[in-house]
Chains A and B, each alone.
Chain A
Amino acid sequence: MAAEPRDWPLELHRILRAEDVRQMCFVPDAGHSRLIKLCQADPEMATHVLTTEEEGIAIAAGAWLGGQRSVVLMQSSGVGNCINMLSLPVIGRFPLLMMVTMRGEWAEFNPWQMPMGRATEATLNAIGVATVRAETADDLVEITASSAKMAYGADQQIAVIISQRLLGAKKW
């Protein structure tokens, strides 16, 4: 008998709650849809829908100035929108936890996703954001817990990269 697939969005939400994350910013992605719903249903977490991903980087810095932890959810294509804004958390050593769902890799159907998919980790690393890649649900849960500790406890800027293989290729 096959094991039940791990309910990783539920576990990610539990980790964020345990870390006292109080603001969640997002540009939607299908891979994030369940985590977004869990956060929106959480009365302890303010959720902010963005028009473009870099807004979330600025909001996260403001939240930290005011004593609150936050997280920013986006798809890999949104990483490209964030680059200059990441100057703020990098130079100010603001804790930053980004959760990035990948497109443009494993079984990708849309060629337009490929360039930014290839550039996602390279650009984050170039501006000074560390990336940690999860290939399985087990990995993802452990990596998120570890990355949250490093972000909020050690003032790090970290993007958790959620592979497209883990999410499943988009169905067309």
Chain B
Amino acid sequence: MSLAQARSNRVGDARGEATQHDETMPYVANTTDDQRAMLDAIGLESLDELFEAIPEELRLKRPLAIPPALSEMELTAHLTALAGKNASAGEKVCFLGGGSYDHFIPAIVDHVAARGEFYTSYTPYQPEASQGNLQVFFEYQTLITQLTGMDVSNASLYDGGSAAAEAVLMAVTTTKRHGRVVTANSVHPEYREILATYLANLGIELVTVGTPEGTVSPAELAAQINGDTACVLVQHPNFFGCLEEVDALAAAAHDAGALLVVAVDPISLGLLKRPGDYGADIVVAEGQSLGSPMSFGGPYLGIMACREQHVRRMPGRIAGETVDRRGKRCFVLTLQTREQHIRREKATSNICTNQGLFALRAAVYLAAMGPVGIRQTAELCLRKARYASGRLTADTSLVPAFSRPTFKEFVVRCPHGNVEAALERASESGYLAGVPLSRWYDDLADCFLVAVTERRTQDEIDGLAACLKELTCSNA
């Protein structure tokens, strides 16, 4: 019998009129004496009587069939063993992207986010007891407006994908056009899947414009926008890493009275023109790049910013500045009449919990980067990615899938052999070489997406090129 089983059995044996206190309940303070005293105060004999309201026939008459309790040491050993069955991005060289990136996280981000006063607090419903969080949200919102060039940011949504869907719903209510939404094949396929799920029962048509050249043609996009189109959703740089012709796309949307919703890579804004400067009406982004670990896809940070005139349609919490009774500057959650706890079915969204701790991480990251650091990070990504695409296409049989300018990602075609098999073998050689596109794109089934962040070195890129040279050529 294992220690855990022995302990579990002992606990089971000890269950009587009042529950015993022992080491398997590390987070419950009540001792047997406490429980007795409390039951006496309530006027009950046993813990079971607390549950009289639950009809006998609905009670579970057996212990839950879940594994027995583990002590902290046993749990640590167990989790360490499970973690050992994964290969972390630190063990392999990570060239994976597609919305989640291996960017550098300065130590101060982890340090600040580990403060118990931040991570064990909750939504600042009592502003006097939450000025820390509220000021952080206000600062985060300001940093996001500085980064995007937009007027207003909310205090975060779940992730980039659901933020994009929320932005589209916001555009629908803002424009009162319930007929159609136009997007492009170059928008992250998962974001489009989320959007399709969100729109499934709302009677809004989702039109997706093809992108055979890697970017969407403004003319083809314009042709799909009709008088009942709420918005255009594009991504820039797009899922393939290519830069879209955003000025022309904005004009196409606005000429037809539709809004431009753009999903951006926040790191790219160290270098690229800001969405506020090319006419975006709502900006969304996956904020993971701003100081959050990849964490197998979450928790992440849904960034959303918009023009001031649309703010009352914006979902999610917003911190606002005001003064207290003594005239001192302070911060509160504001425009709450947009939200579900006040407006119920008429709210702008059902969102309640957001990603406060990850907004904090992004705020610390952006403040630590500053204008110079974000610019340098973006430049390093761009230069290294271009170097990598040059090496990969020069040294191996891989060819560029598109000719458009790219930022930190690019798509290569593998004319000879099986992409999945090559990527699997690259992984065995220590390189997470890219994301295969076959899951989403039939016409790109022989392609994969490579991402290069500022963390990748020339040596690692050369190593990837050498590894892929061997694999893609020997596959031929």
**Does B associate with A?**
no
